[in-house]
A and B are shown apart, each in its own frame.
Chain A
């Protein structure tokens, strides 16, 4: 079994795997769909950063947070949370961050990080499903 490290919450992800009936007929397409979805969302996020649209970034962060959390993809979820928070002019601890430039900068950082996370995880997942096949 591939070690996902802190990328994945095993308890959550194993629940998904339990749903598989024949090999990974459920989880594999689900995961690959998620990565597609993540890529699409990243593109939209890039565009929103370009246009400095914080509320759109918050919405997108929330969106991807939901699916990554349900899959147990912890690292991605955490960075999405950060994007969502700063998109709402809030620091991670919930205090207000009125400076939009600060918010945007933090979002850029989190977006860069989440892209890396996603790439790493995708590699691990591919390997995982290869091995399990």
Chain B
């Protein structure tokens, strides 16, 4: 048998060799400051990682690789003792490594043979995880997600800081180089000058013997005038040396070029720095010249590129589905949606000019009349809203506050096709109610009714699972518009009812953005009109008229995000339903449901959300111009309280 050089195999043959070496190493008191037993003698601590790796490891283990030392330890079932770094509870300092094995003790040298190499055990953490309740898994997942996000953010900040520092340093070095160049220029000028003086001095002194000395240089004199080696010759030699040193320094080293490249990259403003630097890579020579010019004129053009303020540099390393909190204010405030108050007059006019008569709108629905829940604490508003809705042939039920609404949904989550939800209500506000309703009815369109149409507020509504906003005071036409948009699948004839393809496009993003639309395409019969095709999410439901969310497993309503809702402390109220109700389907992250959760997150990150933003504001357009006055932006509506 050939000698076995594999350390792992060696360890396997002689199980306690490594452990003995380890023990022996710890017996040496001279290592105390680097590696030693802990006070209790039940673990050992590597205090100075670097010293340990460089000096002690080679002596005892014939290598200087700390990582493989740790690997060995792990193979023998040693475990790193973790200290809570957050609380600063690190008795041996931040960089110390403490290892422990239950059998490995300072006072039990006889016990070393009991420490054996672990049998390579098959990993089964996945199964262990499955034993977790599903909800706990979500908690764990979202916690680790949050932790990862924090890490990424911290890394990003660090990266930007480093990049910033690097930029400063490169600029500094470049300016130092310029200074050095100037200095050497000055030096060489001085040397020339001194040479001339020297020459003149010699000429004046020795003009008698050497008339041609002026063009043969100081060396000529030095050689010629052997008489005065210490006096007249010395300065000339120094000058010569100085010149040699100056000439010996080559300003065109590779490092200089790299540096210049960097400096130019930093100064090239307006284009992302990565593309700038990559373009510089290729034509080195040509670029050199440009750089020279740019550097000379770099003063005015150095509007230094600031990566922190450039959203393009917000790199999301783990793809769009994970690693980002889509609701983080950074992203939310970057969503480019314009306030839809641009043409309120047009809207108001059209609603004025043609008030649809009852028979015109009375039968817009196909088979079944939509069942609408109107949640509104104000009697007058509720009556008017109900009237408007029943006027367009909807069956209306009302709830006087969020709690009543949740109660109704809890009782029968499939009864309603759409919910209009006031925001500020006694008992339970509309946003919290939505969050709770989402647990049993993840897909039902929930429309916020509010006079509070500030961008942040609207964002909050969407965030907590609402699908659209109807501005208060609401109008009949505003309500009809919402109905047509979100219940287009129930319309008798979407096109003749004035649901333009524009509207239909908007509708795609509304109740189930992203994936469901794609699903709808797949299911759509070939004869579908473009308008209905476009509203793919709704098309689906023509084939499943019962509209049970449980049977439409692919539906990803934003409402599912309610798991993160802070208002769910009262969620126990609904919890009895979760297991058996249709909501349970969605909340169960096990099995095939899990990927949908991420899909659904993706739909928030992706463009459908962006589409949804302006779309959600459409209802606001419907208000007659006059009523805009008080809420109008000109009066600084941002500060109006709801």
Contact = CB atoms under 8 A, between A and B. Distances in A.
B638 A69 contact: no
B639 A69 contact: no
| A14, A93, A94: residue with the most chain B Cβ atoms closer than 10 Å | A94
Contact of B387 (A26, A93, A94): A26
Contacts of B635: 92-94
A69 B636 CA distance: 19
A129 interface: no
B328 interface: no
Contacts of A15: 355, 388, 475-476
Interface stretch (A44-52, A82-90, A99-107, A115-123): A82-90
A11 B378 contact: no
Q: Which 9 A-B pairs have the closest CB atoms?
A: A94-B639, A67-B380, A69-B473, A11-B624, A70-B473, A88-B641, A94-B636, A19-B387, A66-B378
B263 interface: no
B378 A67 contact: yes
Contacts, number: 95
Overall SS of chain B's interface: helix
B391 A19 contact: yes
Given A18-B355, A94-B638, A69 B424 contact: no
A77 to B, nearest CB: 7
A33 interface: yes
Contact of A94 (B391, B627, B640): B640
Given A58-B641, A94-B636, A66 B472 contact: yes
A16 interface: yes
Given A12-B624, A26-B387, A90 B473 contact: no
B476 to A, nearest CB: 5
Given A37-B379, A71-B384, A66 B639 contact: no
Contact of A62 (B383, B624, B642): B642
B8 interface: no
A96 to B, nearest CB: 9
Nearest to B476: A15
A19 B638 CA distance: 33
Contacts of B380: 30, 33-34, 37, 66-67, 70-71
Interface in B365-420: 377-381, 383-385, 387-388, 391
Contacts of B474: 70
Nearest to A6: B626
Contacts of A90: 639, 641
A103 to B, nearest CB: 12
A61 to B, nearest CB: 9
Interface string B432-456: 0000000000000000000100000
B384 A70 contact: yes
